[in-house]
Amino acid sequence: GNDYQIHIDGQGSNLHQVWDSLILAHGNRTWSDHAEALADTRPETGTVDARDWAVESCRLIGEHGLYPTGHTLDERYLVQHRALAEQRLQLAAARLATLLESALAEAAARE
């Protein structure tokens, strides 16, 4: 994503930046609104192995056609992929929480 240059709203960027912030920033929701909406449920995190998470993300790229043809994004792309971005953000937060809980529990057990 960092090397995949795109144009959106007349500006240059890269696809990683789009997925890191632009998809969620587009629209009328504030970051607080996103956090509130996503805090209601905690998804199943599965493995705590970051390599598995990376493989999962790579698989999503192929399944969802996330690399746009022509390097130009429009509002349709942002709207189309917003739900997936929110899902991935929620899952990342839950996984980080699980990882921290596990690390802290291990540290407490050693004391």
> Quick check: 78 and 24 in contact, CB under 8 A?
no
Query: For 24-76, how does the pLDDT look when each residue is reduced to its tens digit (9 = 90+)?
Result: 888 777 778 777 777 777 777 777 788 988 888 888 887 777 888 888 999 89
Q: Which residue has the higher pLDDT, 34 or 90?
A: 90
pLDDT at 49: 83
Instruction: Tell me what percent of the residues of the chain surpass a pLDDT of 90.
Output: 13
Helix (H, G, I), strand (E, B) or coil at 6: strand
Question: Burial level of 49, CB count in 10 A (0-12/13-18/19+)?
Answer: exposed
Instruction: Tell me what percent of the residues of the chain surpass a pLDDT of 70.
Output: 99
pTM: 0.78
